[in-house]
Amino acid sequence: MKILRTRIEFETVEPIQIIDVTEQVRDWLKTTGVRDGLLTVTSLHTTARVNVNEREPQLQKDMATWLKRFVPRDGDWLHNEVAIDGRDNAHSHILGLFMNSSESIAVADGEMVLGSWQAIFFIELDGPRDRRALELHIMGAA
């Protein structure tokens, strides 16, 4: 049994941004030599999340639009009055309540078990940010 991990780092440029990280994760998986196991992708941030969903550009735009409407940035949020980092990001934390901080994906025959349309997305809720990260952790057999 192998247990390996790595970190993917990147920057975001939009307040709410959906970034497809599937290929980066797939590329790392190939280097591990794991044939069968479980891969976990975890956001290291309270204002950014991970999601497996359909890869289609118009749908990603719809998702970002919905997130902005669901919990508006300009709400009367108490956290914004006392934010320790000076960011008015209560809406980002609240949106995070409805999303996963990690996703676990089965690995079979050296490939992630994803449906034809599925992709792994990093969802920025409080951008732009110079440095964001995902932790990848795999347990499995070669």
Count of alpha carbons within 13 angstroms of residue 6, beta-carbon side: 11
Given pLDDT bands bounded at 50, 70 and 90, which one contains residue 83?
confident
Q: Using CA atoms, how far apart are residues 69 and 97, in angstroms rounded to an integer?
A: 15
Query: Where does residue 18 fall: left (phi above 0), alpha (psi -120 to 50 degrees), or beta otherwise?
Result: beta
- Domains in the chain, number: 1
Q: What is the pLDDT of residues 51-75, one digit of tens each?
A: 999 999 999 999 999 999 999 999 9
| Domain at 66, CATH number | 2.60.120.460
User: For a pLDDT cut of 70, what percent of the chain falls above it?
Assistant: 100
User: Structural domain of residue 90, as residue ranges?
Assistant: 2-141
Q: Please give the model's pTM, rounded to 2 decimal places.
A: 0.95
Q: Using CA atoms, how far apart are residues 124 and 21, in angstroms rounded to an integer?
A: 12
